[in-house]
Chain A
Amino acid sequence: MLVYLIRRLMQSVVVLCVMSLLVFLGVFAIGDPVQILINPLADQAEIDRATAALGLDQPLWRQYWLFLVNAARGDLGRSFVYNVPAIGLILERMPATLELAVTATFFGVILGVPLGMLAGLKPASPVGKSIMAASILGFSLPTFWVGLMLIMVFAVELGWLPSTGRGAATCSLLGLKFSLCTVDGLRHILLPALNLALFKLSLVIRLSRAGTREVVLQDYVKFARAKGLPQSRVVWLHVFKNITIPIVTVLGLELGSTIAFAVVTEWIFAWPGMGKLIIESINVLDRPVIVAYLLVIVFMFIVINLAVDVAYSVLDPRVRLSEQRA
């Protein structure tokens, strides 16, 4: 187990290095940020000064080397636009994104599991069929368009919910701001979270339907029914418990992609998270922020994948990690 962990950690470091090089080279290739940042009337001397101040006059390999050395110290450069450390800018926005992603996952589970179980218990009924049709629709609907339609219906036509931002009344906990604890904040998070939850919802519905259909055929469910237990007890105790394992696993793996896809939702609902920041940064070529965001996300992914793998070996003794080729 220890050997496996060490191997995995070393692999992760390699992946991180490769990704940092790719990200750095990729981001380096776009445009000249000086052209965008500086006053168009500036003369050559001024342009040179700005280039030198941003460190862009150095050769490429030296820029990368400096970047790596600084990155090892936790310094991913200063934002060209805000002139503050890029990593701080990202971390400052991270709670908003995480809040949105977790709330969306919560919606996906709280709505998806009961619907999926219903469809699984009555696969041939009109209810079961329409739930499945809705989940196909959920897979096909472009997320960003659904976001627009949510704004159109609930914010513009009905006027029930606000369409942008997190709301003014956020409360802070340990220096971080959260929307979830005030009514106004809840009103603000509802639409973006629903939008982000849509894909998850379809996934959870399919997983719980498939799980339920398998579990109801098992002997212990038949036995519970034969004992004369009420339907609700059979469903919520025997069936529900046994379909949770795959759902939890998939949701763990999907958390990363929820965070990545939050980019789109944040952009539509002007949710002040990392995703909105990255789109703005790409548009103004704020290289340090782009690089810092991508590296933070890559790092998160590596941690999530590692955690899921390790959790699997703990939960399922059949997965013998030490014997795997790492």
Chain B
Amino acid sequence: MSAIPAGVERAGAAETPFRRFVSDFCESRVAVAALAMLALIIAVALLAPWIAPQDPYDLRQLDLLDSKMPPGSVGGGGMLHLLGTDAQGRDMLSAIMYGLRTSLAVGVGASFGAMFIGLAAGLIAAYFGGLIETVIMRTVDMQLSFPSILVALILVAGLGQGVDKIIIALMAVQWAYYARTVRGTALVERRKEYIEAARCLALGHRRVVFRHLLPNCLPPLIVVNTVLVASAISLEATLSFLGLGLPITKPSLGLLIANGFQFLLSGKYWISFFPGVALLIIIMCINLVGDQLRDVLNPRLQR
């Protein structure tokens, strides 16, 4: 518990919890490399409009004569297409950079939205108990007994397409995981003395829940969050690939891969291959960072 970054200002000694957290994290070189890679990817996604060789959605910059060129070829305008071009003559590298933006935004947005809902539901269930807890946790149990892709399919079938709809669908899929994790942690924390002390001081429910209970439930939540961001990105890509996710105007990595699907059979692999590699790298880096966070934040493994 002491390893949460929030403890920085409380500790004045040389070995602050935050510093210990950082040094523990840095013990795994693979995790550090994954984190660096992730930072690089996020930077690329954020800076895409400035660093991409081409704006892939500005039709004036596209030339159909440049379509489906293999990686490394030079287009009509004298531009080098490092990763080739797609059927519309779009530079794949630029398309991937823009795709990263959409994929990351949807994945992170949905996952954090789900975290707030799950956090609230889990805390309420754990703190108040009784009928509220039964209703919330039964809903969670019911939802978790079905695989995420099925729940997402039901929702997308119901909601239709669009960025907001897909984010809602992903949030609805993921809140249950957060709710279960938070409730589990909060149930343990609730019985500890500091909560009792806070209650003895006749502090309001809101203050006890948000200022005392919540900060101590965060460490396991951070771990779950990394895993779920990865799964949200992957699920969004899958839905988009099936043609049920994002509209064509907001191409994510999944949609880029879907676009290349039809050209795969004629040997034009690069349209699908490179967006997939980008997706794989993101998911793997997040998973590696998440694995290390789990080890570092796990009190049972604390030395």
Q: Which residues of A contact B (CB under 8 A)?
A: 15, 18, 22-23, 25-27, 29-31, 136-137, 139-145, 148-149, 151-152, 155-157, 163, 256-257, 260-261, 263-264, 267-268, 278-279, 282-283, 290, 294, 297-298, 301, 305
The one of A149, A261, A279 in contact with B273, judged by C-beta atoms closer than 8 angstroms, is A149
Closest approach, in angstroms, between the C-beta of A99 and any C-beta of chain B?
19
* A156 contacts B265, C-beta separation under 8 Å: yes
Assembled-state Cα–Cα distance A231/B269 (Å): 46
Contact of B157 with A by CB under 8 A: yes
Instruction: Give the interface SS of chain A, mostly helix, strand, loop or mixed.
Output: helix
Interface centre among A140, A264, A267 (most CB of B within 10 A): A140
* A305 contacts B145, C-beta separation under 8 Å: yes
Q: Which residue of A lies closest to B283 (CB)?
A: A140
* A283 contacts B243, C-beta separation under 8 Å: yes
A-side contacts of B288, CB under 8 Å = 136
The one of B142, B234, B243 in contact with A15, judged by C-beta atoms closer than 8 angstroms, is B142
* A142 contacts B287, C-beta separation under 8 Å: no
The one of B154, B254, B264, B284 in contact with A136, judged by C-beta atoms closer than 8 angstroms, is B284
* B276 contacts A298, C-beta separation under 8 Å: no
* B243 contacts A143, C-beta separation under 8 Å: no
Interface residues of B in 152-169 (CB under 8 A from A): 153-160
* B150 contacts A297, C-beta separation under 8 Å: yes
User: Known contacts A140-B284, A157-B267, A260-B147; is A279 also within 8 Å of B242 by CB?
Assistant: yes
Interface residues of B in 267-295 (CB under 8 A from A): 267, 269, 272-273, 276, 279-280, 283-284, 287-288
B-side contacts of A278, CB under 8 Å = 153
* A143 contacts B264, C-beta separation under 8 Å: no
User: Known contacts A26-B157, A26-B158, A142-B237; is A148 also within 8 Å of B264 by CB?
Assistant: yes
Given contacts A136-B287, A148-B264, A261-B149, 6 further A-B contacts (CB under 8 A): A27-B158, A31-B160, A140-B287, A156-B269, A279-B243, A282-B153
Assembled-state Cα–Cα distance A18/B288 (Å): 38
Closest approach, in angstroms, between the C-beta of A138 and any C-beta of chain B?
11
A-side contacts of B147, CB under 8 Å = 256-257, 260-261
A-B CB proximity, top 6 nearest: A26-B158, A145-B276, A257-B147, A140-B284, A260-B150, A260-B147
User: Known contacts A25-B158, A26-B158, A29-B159; is A301 also within 8 Å of B146 by CB?
Assistant: yes
Closest approach, in angstroms, between the C-beta of B132 and any C-beta of chain A?
17
Q: Which residue of A lies closest to B276 (CB)?
A: A145
Assembled-state Cα–Cα distance A137/B257 (Å): 19
Contact of B238 with A by CB under 8 A: yes
Contact of B177 with A by CB under 8 A: no
B-side contacts of A260, CB under 8 Å = 146-147, 149-150
B-side contacts of A152, CB under 8 Å = 264, 269, 272-273
Contact of B98 with A by CB under 8 A: no
Contact of B175 with A by CB under 8 A: no
B-side contacts of A256, CB under 8 Å = 146-147
* B157 contacts A144, C-beta separation under 8 Å: no
B-side contacts of A257, CB under 8 Å = 147, 149
Closest approach, in angstroms, between the C-beta of A279 and any C-beta of chain B?
6
User: Known contacts A157-B267, A279-B243, A279-B244; is A26 also within 8 Å of B155 by CB?
Assistant: yes
* B157 contacts A142, C-beta separation under 8 Å: no
* A145 contacts B150, C-beta separation under 8 Å: no
* A145 contacts B272, C-beta separation under 8 Å: yes
* A151 contacts B264, C-beta separation under 8 Å: yes
A-side contacts of B156, CB under 8 Å = 282
Contact of B241 with A by CB under 8 A: yes
A-side contacts of B157, CB under 8 Å = 26-27, 30, 282, 290, 294
Assembled-state Cα–Cα distance A268/B267 (Å): 16
B-side contacts of A26, CB under 8 Å = 154-155, 157-159
Closest approach, in angstroms, between the C-beta of B35 and any C-beta of chain A?
16
B-side contacts of A143, CB under 8 Å = 238
Assembled-state Cα–Cα distance A262/B243 (Å): 16
Closest approach, in angstroms, between the C-beta of B9 and any C-beta of chain A?
36
A-side contacts of B269, CB under 8 Å = 152, 156
A-side contacts of B260, CB under 8 Å = 148
* Chain B 194-210 near chain A by CB (<8 Å), digits 1 or 0: 00000000000000000
Assembled-state Cα–Cα distance A305/B141 (Å): 12
B-side contacts of A283, CB under 8 Å = 243
Assembled-state Cα–Cα distance A187/B285 (Å): 35
Closest approach, in angstroms, between the C-beta of A181 and any C-beta of chain B?
28
Contact of B261 with A by CB under 8 A: yes
* A145 contacts B280, C-beta separation under 8 Å: yes
Q: Which residue of B lies closest to A268 (CB)?
A: B261
Q: Which residue of B lies closest to A282 (CB)?
A: B157
* Chain B 222-266 near chain A by CB (<8 Å), digits 1 or 0: 000000001000100110011110000000001001001100111
Q: Which residue of B lies closest to A163 (CB)?
A: B265
Assembled-state Cα–Cα distance A298/B283 (Å): 29
Assembled-state Cα–Cα distance A294/B153 (Å): 9
Assembled-state Cα–Cα distance A268/B272 (Å): 13
* B265 contacts A148, C-beta separation under 8 Å: no
Closest approach, in angstroms, between the C-beta of A267 and any C-beta of chain B?
6
* Chain B 125-147 near chain A by CB (<8 Å), digits 1 or 0: 00000000000000000100111
* B242 contacts A264, C-beta separation under 8 Å: yes
Assembled-state Cα–Cα distance A150/B25 (Å): 36
Assembled-state Cα–Cα distance A139/B227 (Å): 11
Assembled-state Cα–Cα distance A26/B152 (Å): 12
Assembled-state Cα–Cα distance A31/B276 (Å): 32
The one of A27, A148, A290 in contact with B276, judged by C-beta atoms closer than 8 angstroms, is A148
- Could you name 6 residue pairs across A and B whose Cβ atoms are closer than 8 Å? A144-B237, A256-B147, A263-B149, A263-B242, A294-B150, A301-B146
Assembled-state Cα–Cα distance A162/B242 (Å): 21
A-side contacts of B154, CB under 8 Å = 22-23, 26, 294
